[in-house]
Amino acid sequence: MKSLLFWILSACLGAVVGVISALFMAGLLSVGPKIGGTVDVGGWTSDWSIGSESANPYVRARVARHGLLALRKEEAVYFTKSTDQSGNPLRETCVYRVEGSRLPATWWSITLYDSQSRLPMNTDRKLSFDKTKAEVTFGGDVAWLFDVRPSAINNEMPWVSSRGADEFDLTLRLYRPRADLLDDPVSVLDPPRITRLSCDGDDE
CA dist 33 → 8, 23, 48 (Å): 31, 10, 15
Residue 45 in contact with another protein, rule: CB under 8 A? no
Residue 152 in contact with another protein, rule: CB under 8 A? no
Q: Which stretch binds another protein (CB under 8 A): 82-90, 91-99, 170-178, 191-199?
A: 170-178
CB of 162: closest distance to another protein in angstroms? 12
- CA 80 and chain centroid, separation: 3
CB 171 within 8 A of CB 177: no
Residue (of 99, 71, 102, 69) closest to 84 by Cα position: 99
CB 160 within 8 A of CB 126: yes
Residue 48 in contact with another protein, rule: CB under 8 A? no
Q: Supply the DSSP symbol for 11.
A: H
Q: Which stretch binds another protein (CB under 8 A): 11-19, 33-41, 83-91, 140-148?
A: 11-19
Contact set with another protein (CB under 8 A): 3, 6-7, 9-19, 21-23, 26, 28, 51, 53, 57-58, 60-61, 63-65, 68-72, 74-75, 106-107, 109, 111, 113, 116-123, 125, 127-128, 130, 132-133, 164, 171, 173, 175-176
